[in-house]
Amino acid sequence: MAENYKIGATDLATVLTHITQVSGDIAVPGTRQADYSVPGRTGAIATAPWFGTRTVTIGGVVAGATRSAYQTSLRALMKLVHNNGQTFTLTRTLDSAPTTTAATARYGGGLEDVNPLSNRAARVAFDLVLMDGFFYDTAYTPGTAIVGTAVVNVSGDAPTQDINVTWSAGPATQRLRNSAFPGLGRLTLVPGNNTLVLSGGGTATISYKAAWL
């Protein structure tokens, strides 16, 4: 299977004649904040591992049989990637499992200039910023109905907050927390076993999208 990238429903290979560079497509985003340094105490206190954005750089050649065809393809690429400055779904297909994942992305620069190779071809490179740093499953994984306490095994490479919860009574009277992150206001699942604790009685059923590097 060849690796593949789509912006929305458009395959990049239809507007980028030859893709010669992809970097950052499998990577770890940087953390958003530093650990706490306490005066009079050695070392630091670790903060929660929240991650920032991540940049995927894609490069290649745009070419056409005529100069007009080349210009049409170049404009089509720029229009697709720029997307009026709005976010879009970037879909990644790899040879390794999970083969197809998706991220919310936005154009991050690079197409301000191109490197002409002839009057009918140019080399380009552009950045796509993944807004929450990871790729995610394209469909939700059904979870277990939780009564009291339950252990849920979560796939993925990184923590995910893309979670749907169905309450039997409602969040006004029920609360679901992960014992690994007891102080967080937003439910977070990590890869591996998660001990979820439901207070307020009744049941809660979760579904989630795993996060992948």
Look up the pTM and report it. Answer: 0.88
Residue 102 · residue 136 · CB < 8 Å: yes
Cα dist. 50→29, 32, 182, 185, 193 in Å? 10, 6, 15, 14, 19
pLDDT tens-digit readout, 60-103: 999 999 999 999 999 999 999 999 999 999 999 998 888 999 99
Check whether 184 has a pLDDT greater than 70: no
Percentage, residues of the chain above pLDDT 90: 72
Domain with CATH 2.40.30.200 in the chain: 4-136
26 vs 63: CA distance, rounded Å: 28
Structure tokens at 179: 């014992």
Q: Is the pLDDT reported for residue 27 higher than 50?
A: yes
Q: Is 128 exposed, middle or buried (0-12, 13-18, 19+ CB in 10 A)?
A: buried
Q: Band of the pLDDT at 1, cuts 50, 70, 90?
A: very low
* CATH no. of 4-136: 2.40.30.200
